[in-house]
Amino acid sequence: MSEGRTLVISPNWIGDAVMAQPLLQLLKRQHPERPIDVLAPPSVAPAWRAMIEVDSVLETPFRHGALQLRERWRYARVLRARGYVDAYVLPNTIKYALIPWLAGIARRVGYKGEMRYGLLNVVHHDDTPKRAMVPFYAALAGAPHAALRAGVPRPAMRVSPEQVLEVRARHGMGGAGRLVVFAPGAEFGAAKRWPARHFAALAQSVREQDPAAHIALLGSPKDREACAEITAITGTDGIHNVAGATSLSEAIALIAGAAAVVANDSGLLHIASALNRPVIALYGPTDPDHAPPFSDVARSISLRLACSPCRQRECPLGHHDCMEKLEPGMVWHELRQM
């Protein structure tokens, strides 16, 4: 039986962190006795805490984008004392590959990224231009150049029913009414956002069919304005704009208790998928095949226009047709069946 611990260095985006979770499932199968720690930015850490394979979550003390070589060397000394035998570096930058090298971790696994030979000593290559993210991360559990494995597990997260009830009550969504979650935001850029008036029309359809339903509008503080546009149309009866008013751990709990989730291509979409909630994923400028939801009940909706996926933060043609022309009735047709 091997000794020591495994370190996983998290991506900087919530959605990527969720899609990396199957890698931890595979690592745990290989070494069930070996604790897995995750080094993650504070903004992403709550997502890892909802994954049962994770023993400890260590929050990075570094500023975004800065090399901070002295700080990384000091932090590497802290990691050295924890006794890691291997490390999996999921971001593609040199500065994250420096940490396990400085910490003296013997086996350092990751993709080549920014020419990281030497810093990594088990180097994988990204030779597939349109690879899906879950098998991309999961491949790190195998040997470099090995064929992508079949039957990669789905991302999975866990929240207790008691936590769900507590968070619902804390934000005024207690009682018997079912909870529907909308995630109107998208950190990547405005092009990913389904229009507020479309979300408002969908909310009205939900409330007409189920007047007791609670609709939670989730997101970061940056999304509060977009959510306010929705409630300006619908009013606030049964519709709760809690964007920026919940921590990520609270948002995860609300999603865990949702009867259904409607989301743009965003981190909250992938959290809903990992919690196996019924989910409708709305795609415009991004590829629905690149990072689809994995829930037992899931629908990916994309108009698949000739100009998409453009993968741009703003519509380069100025019309945003990929989202504007995705009518609320199309989404309600799918949501009503859920």
Domain with 220, as residue range(s), is 161-337
Query: Looking at the structure, do residues 254 and 137 belong to the same domain, yes or no?
Result: no
Query: Looking at the structure, do residues 328 and 195 belong to the same domain, yes or no?
Result: yes
Q: Can you tell me the mean pLDDT for 101-114?
A: 94
Let me know if residue 153 belongs to a domain.
Answer: no
Residue ranges of E strands in the chain = 5-9, 36-40, 54-59, 84-89, 107-111, 122-124, 179-183, 214-217, 239-241, 260-264, 279-283, 298-302
pTM of the model as a whole: 0.91
Query: Looking at the structure, do residues 111 and 227 belong to the same domain, yes or no?
Result: no
Query: Looking at the structure, do residues 114 and 211 belong to the same domain, yes or no?
Result: no
Q: Mean pLDDT across the chain, nearest whole number? A: 92
- Most confident among 52-66, 88-102, 112-126, 142-156 (mean pLDDT): 88-102
Q: Can you tell me the mean pLDDT for 110-133?
A: 85
Let me know if residue 191 belongs to a domain.
Answer: yes
Let me know if residue 134 belongs to a domain.
Answer: yes
The residues pairing with 241 across neighbouring beta strands, listed in sequence order, are 217
How would residue 70 be classed by pLDDT, with cut points 50, 70 and 90? confident
Query: Looking at the structure, do residues 225 and 310 belong to the same domain, yes or no?
Result: yes
| Phi, psi torsion values for 260, nearest 5 degrees | -165, 155
Q: What is the pLDDT of residue 98?
A: 92
Asked whether residue 2 carries a pLDDT value surpassing 60, the answer given is no
How would residue 151 be classed by pLDDT, with cut points 50, 70 and 90? confident
Query: Looking at the structure, do residues 85 and 167 belong to the same domain, yes or no?
Result: no
Let me know if residue 332 belongs to a domain.
Answer: yes
Q: Can you tell me the mean pLDDT for 248-263?
A: 98
Are residues 262 and 202 in contact, defined by beta-carbon separation less than 8 angstroms? yes
Are residues 206 and 215 in contact, defined by beta-carbon separation less than 8 angstroms? yes
Query: Looking at the structure, do residues 101 and 199 belong to the same domain, yes or no?
Result: no
Q: How far out from the chain centre does Cα 57 lie?
A: 16
Q: Which residue, of 141, 173, 197, is where some domain finishes?
A: 141
Share of the chain above pLDDT 70, in %: 96
Q: Which amino acid is located at 138 in the chain? A: A
- The structural domain count of the chain equals 2
Q: What is the pLDDT of residue 114?
A: 80
| Burial class of residue 92, CB neighbours in 10 A (0-12, 13-18, 19+) | middle
Let me know if residue 30 belongs to a domain.
Answer: yes
Q: Which token pair is 338? A: 């859920």
Let me know if residue 147 belongs to a domain.
Answer: no
What CATH number does the domain containing 130 carry? Answer: 3.40.50.2000
Please give the Cα distance from 270 to 333 (Å, whole number): 22
How would residue 1 be classed by pLDDT, with cut points 50, 70 and 90? very low
- H or E element at residue 72: helix 69-80
